[in-house]
Structure 1
Amino acid sequence: MRRRRQCTTWSCSAVDVQCQRLARHDGPHGASPTSTYERHWSWSDGDPDAIEVLPGTVWFHPPDRARHAKTARRLGEWTALGLFAALLWWADSWATAFVFLALEMLLSVRRARFVDLGRFTAGVWRVTKVAPPVIFGVAFVLHGEGRNAKKAGIEIILGPVVVGAFSLMPRSEWPAYKRSQAAFDAQQKERRS
């Protein structure tokens, strides 16, 4: 398999991104902030300071060896965690090993994850960088802003991670939301047929 290389051209210092197209590509250079971002920056060799924001994603996919290295690193981490949990099980109890694995998985969350349970949602997400550092905390999630907002649920802060369960909207608004959602679904089904 032939190795694919990324274009080495950089844009102006105002945006300061490397072109994410393949080397020796035709047309202008382009770069996207992430692989799922819906827009990208575009510039040409003649004037790297003239940057346009265009629709579409431009993303250079790394060679397979980079993905394999990442997979190997994760496999090594999981193996070490599994061995340590087995040691805890052998030395103390299965409950200690389970609590260790649950806390380790919880504290290693990098992206927000949510599970919808009808009107309620439970999830895990990272604490914002502007929040004061807290080792452990319990707080209420509110519907809206200010002290008069109704309580929606509860969240537990464990260092850099928040675990919470809350309702998506107040009980009085839920029937109207369900009716509008059903009307929208019917309209979408009608368009498809």
Structure 2
Amino acid sequence: MKRQRQCTTWSCFEINVRCQRIARHEGPHAASTRPTVERHWSWADGAPTEVELLPGTVWFHRPAPSRAGRVARRLGEWAAIVPGALLLWWLTSPGTTVTFIVLELLLSVRRARFFDVGRFTAGIWPAGPAELPLIFGIAWAVHGEGRSAKKAGLQLTLGGTTVGVFSLAPRREWAAFKRAQAAARQGGGR
């Protein structure tokens, strides 16, 4: 299967969107600002300042990387991290090197992972696409909404990654929570 490339043409600076069609396409350029928008902008090569707003979504769907591509990317990342870590070890201290590697591992998380122990869970998860990534943040995880919600644990945010340790349910509700889980596992939930 030949990989399709995206058209590289941009519209005028007033709208500033990139064409979302494949490279070397026929007809005018077109682009929606997001894949969920029901309209798109359309413009021609000869007149990039004459832009029309038309119905319908036009969005270039990038092909998912192959397994070999993902492995190559991870190897490339580590090819840059290891020399940096060795340089830190040589110039500063082992503690600085360990901190650097731990931060690199935290910031490279691509999917959520959780580890449950009884009533508590520890997890690491990336920020969603709609969330602004923080440089650094510490916050309470709470059960419920509003200011009167009970504290459940602690969250630490670095870049677009959050690490948290918190309880799955308040202590008073834990027995009922376990009974509901057991009933759901048996298939009845009654």
TM exceeding 0.5? yes
1:110-155 deviation line (CA, Å, top 9, x unaligned):
2122111211111112234444553222111111111111111111
Once the two structures are superposed, the pairs formed by residues 162-173 of structure 1 within 5 Å of their partners are 162-173=162-173
Q: Which amino acid aligns with 2:89?
A: W
Asked if 1:101 corresponds to 2:106, the answer is no
**Distance in 1 between the 2:70 and 2:135 partners?**
30
Total equivalences in the alignment: 133
The alpha-carbon distance between structure 1 residues 164 and 93, as it changes in their structure 2 partners (threshold 3 A), is same
* Cα distance in structure 2, aligned partners of 1:99 and 1:78: 15
Q: 1:117 and 2:113 equivalent?
A: no
Q: Which amino acid aligns with 2:74?
A: R
Once the two structures are TM-superposed, the CA of residue 182 in structure 1 deviates from its matched residue by: 4.0
Partner of 1:74: 74
Aligned with 2:67: secondary structure?
helix
Following the alignment from structure 2 to structure 1, what is the Cα–Cα distance between the partners of residues 161 and 2? Answer: 37
Which has the higher mean CA deviation after the structures are superposed, 123-132 or 87-96?
A: 123-132
The alignment partner of 2:170 has SS state of coil
Q: Which moves more between the two structures, 93-102 or 134-143? A: 134-143
Q: Take 2:112 and 2:150, find their aligned partners in 1: how far apart are those partners? A: 24
Q: Which residue of 1 aligns with 2:148?
A: 148
Distance of aligned partners of 1:159 and 1:184 in 2 relative to their CA distance in 1, 3 Å threshold: closer
Cα 1:5/1:80, change in 2 over 3 Å: closer
TM-score (norm 2): 0.58
> Could you tell me the percent identity over the aligned residues?
54
Where structure 1 has 5 or more consecutive residues not aligned to the other structure, the ranges are 7-15, 17-59, 189-193
* Structure-2 change in CA distance of 1:175 and 1:161 (3 Å): same
Correspondence list, 1:1-193, <5 A: 66-132=66-132, 134-185=134-185, 187=186
Quick one: structure 1 residues 129 and 180, their matched pair in 2 at CA, closer, same or farther if it must change by over 3 Å?
A: closer
Q: What SS does structure 1 have at the residue aligned with 2:165?
A: strand
Unpaired runs of at least 5, structure 2: 4-19, 21-62
